[in-house]
Chains A and B, each alone.
Chain A
Amino acid sequence: MSIIVRNVTKTFGRFTALRDVDLDVESGELLALLGPSGSGKTTLLRIISGLETPDTGTVILHGEDATAMNPRDRRVGFVFQHYALFRHMTVFENVAFGLRVCPRKHRPSKQAIREKVFELLRLVQLDTFWGRYPAQLSGGQRQRVALARVLAVQPKVLLLDEPFGALDAKVRKELRRWLRRLHDEIHVTSVFVTHDQEEALEVADRVVITNEGRIEQVGTPEEVYNHPANPFVYNFLGDVNLFHGRVHNGQAFIVAPHETAPPSDVPEGAPEAQVFVRPHLLEIVTQPTGPNCIRARITHINPAGPFVKVELATEWGAHLQANVSQERYRELALQKDMHVFVIPREMRAFVNGTDSSPERL
């Protein structure tokens, strides 16, 4: 185990950033800390790096208690959200910094520093930019310089705070694939913070979902996406439609909130459930095909993109979103204000916030 975090709590004034957090990061894995802003993910990263001290709890790095250790002794590379490149130094000097400030007895020779810096600049594909200043680089290039700079000190752990947050969508996608390839190449234990679920699910070996200072779920991208532990995780990992439901005989039934008479087979007082359906699992039909259909009116259609986003309003006033294929959209000739029926193809119900396993309607 590369990083072990135990019972870490951190407060800033009256704000609690982390509440009794435990986390294990295995050697060589690429882990994503995913959560909304203010969920404590950056604080956790800074505590692992030593830039922040936890109020309580311990941080163990490579079997050694590092809680009271100075950041410079932790062998941890930290890449800042805004890169924090030294603006008065060239790319070369930035990357060489960590080597030049080494204690004299460990410091490599000038020639060795030179070779190491150019080796790293080649790795991040910036060797021809060695003489430039940070102001003369694009965002993506700066990010790569920041990465080369921390790799120069051969960290045992690489921590990246919102590594692609300040980049545009296209560069972002390129750079995250590049980071994945780089990680496969150098295999250094890495933890990165993001609020973009697509980024986390695509790049990471495992994803840690944080919310309000707690860890909601830890798992592979497949696990957290297909088996979310609670409504928060399900909600956070993609667009959702929420229905109110009642559970009876291990089955969840959607009910309208002010429906006077629930379906006859749901007894009064059955436990309430939150029922979620992803937009692409909500089918639209023009004629009712069975008891599972929900009457709805189309309020908005956005046909731009790989699928058509259809917004609907149910009779009881709830708003739904359904994603249908371009083909299906043309076939049904959907239009605004049209009355249609929606059929949930796959639902997930949570009773009192816990998973009650998906049930068919």
Chain B
Amino acid sequence: MHAAGNPAGTTTAPDRLRRKTSEPVWVRWLLTSVALVFLGLFLFVPLVAVFVNAFSEGAKTYWAAIRDPETLGAVKLTLLTAGIAVPLNILFGVAAAWAIAKFDFVGKNVLVTLIDLPFTVSPVISGVVFVLLFGAQGLFGPWLSEHDIRIIFAVPGIVLATVFVTFPFVARELIPLMEAQGKDDEEAALALGAGGWQTFLRITLPNIRWGLLYGVILCTARALGEFGAVSVVSGHVRGRTITMPLHVEILYNEYSFAAAFAVASLLALISVVTLALKKLAEWKVRMDLQRNELLLLNEEDARET
């Protein structure tokens, strides 16, 4: 309830309480304004600018830019990359989180630290590492060229770089969730005669489904938008190794601003949809946690009454 919404001007007890426990009005206004102006300048204005620039030469140019074969090729490659990287990272993330949260083993701490590595290393360096490993002069270069396998400056390199850069998302989301849930449920299932796979499908997966979705959304968003690492390994072969973010860069460097922004608007659109989905998943995760808490609360109630 807002103080201004009180016509009689009388202060209710909660209002008085709030006055004592919160900052003066002008401080609140100032802080809120600063935050809003900042958000507007750095997030909202650029987002609008993308769309304004995309349509600056009319809807026709916009459609032409999007239906351009090279753009469509970039979209296809981006979707293919995400389509391979995300499922791989779901597999890896769930396996890693399962192992870390439910079992004790030697080297657990090392694994936990390693999962964070892609977040702490600059994407460009991740790309360079792959070039050093699989490039013509790289560690496995001679062997690969002997067997006529191309990784760097080809699609496999792009997929590898994307997998590397996006692999922490699912695992990071699931580890705390699974640790909080403990292993009682799994042990109960095991003692009731369920096998490991049955336990995973029927007990573990339903317990983590919303957290998993949240991780997958973030992972997908990053896989679609990754620039640095992909740029290094792609080699910019037109029509073959150009993803959407790279395509935007190329168009921009060629002074096709409207086209560049048109493709960028597609990426921006994906971000907005991602945000909405993320919000939904967050809400669901919270509901799950609340249900968990409710369970505990009821227990406490029962103990008290």
Contacts and interface: CB of A to CB of B under 8 A. Distances in A.
Interface string B279-302: 000000000000110110011011
Contact of A51 (B185, B191, B304, B305): B191
B295 to A, nearest CB: 5
B187 interface: yes
B206 interface: yes
A72 B191 CA distance: 5
A87 B304 CA distance: 23
Contacts of A171: 302
Contacts of A49: 191
B177 interface: no
B291 A87 contact: yes
B198 A87 contact: no
Interface residues of A, number: 33
Interface in B176-220: 184-185, 187-195, 198, 202-203, 206-207
Nearest to B207: A88
Would you call the interface of chain B mostly helix, strand, loop, or mixed? helix
B302 A51 contact: no
A201 B301 CA distance: 27
A80 B187 contact: yes
A142 B185 CA distance: 14
B194 A101 contact: yes
Contacts of B28: none
Interface string A75-88: 01110101010111
Contacts of B298: 135, 137-139
A101 B193 contact: yes
Contacts of B188: 78, 80, 84, 86, 149
Interface residues of B, number: 27
Interface in A97-142: 97-98, 101-102, 134-135, 137-140, 142
B136 to A, nearest CB: 51
Given A101-B195, A101-B202, A87 B303 contact: no
Contacts of A36: none
B292 A87 contact: yes
A72 B207 CA distance: 21
B185 A84 contact: yes
Contacts, number: 86
Contacts of B192: 72, 97-98, 101, 149-150, 152-153
B184 A80 contact: yes
B303 A72 contact: no
A69 interface: no
A1 interface: no
Contacts of B299: 82, 139, 142, 166
A129 to B, nearest CB: 14
Contacts of B305: 168
A71 interface: yes
A332 interface: no
Nearest to A49: B191
Contacts of A97: 189, 192, 194, 202
Interface in A52-78: 71-72, 76-78
Interface of B: 184-185, 187-195, 198, 202-203, 206-207, 291-292, 294-295, 298-299, 301-305
Interface of A: 49-51, 71-72, 76-78, 80, 82, 84, 86-88, 97-98, 101-102, 134-135, 137-140, 142, 149-150, 152-153, 166-168, 171
26 contacts: A50-B191, A51-B187, A51-B191, A71-B190, A72-B191, A72-B192, A72-B194, A78-B188, A84-B185, A86-B188, A88-B206, A88-B207, A97-B192, A101-B198, A134-B295, A135-B294, A135-B298, A137-B298, A138-B298, A139-B299, A139-B303, A149-B192, A150-B192, A153-B193, A166-B299, A166-B303
Question: Lowest 8 CB-CB distances: which A-B pairs, in order?
Answer: A139-B302, A84-B184, A98-B192, A84-B188, A101-B194, A78-B191, A88-B206, A72-B193
Given A71-B190, A86-B203, A171-B302, 16 more contacts: A51-B191, A71-B191, A72-B191, A78-B188, A80-B187, A84-B185, A84-B188, A86-B185, A86-B188, A87-B207, A87-B292, A87-B295, A88-B206, A97-B194, A98-B194, A153-B192
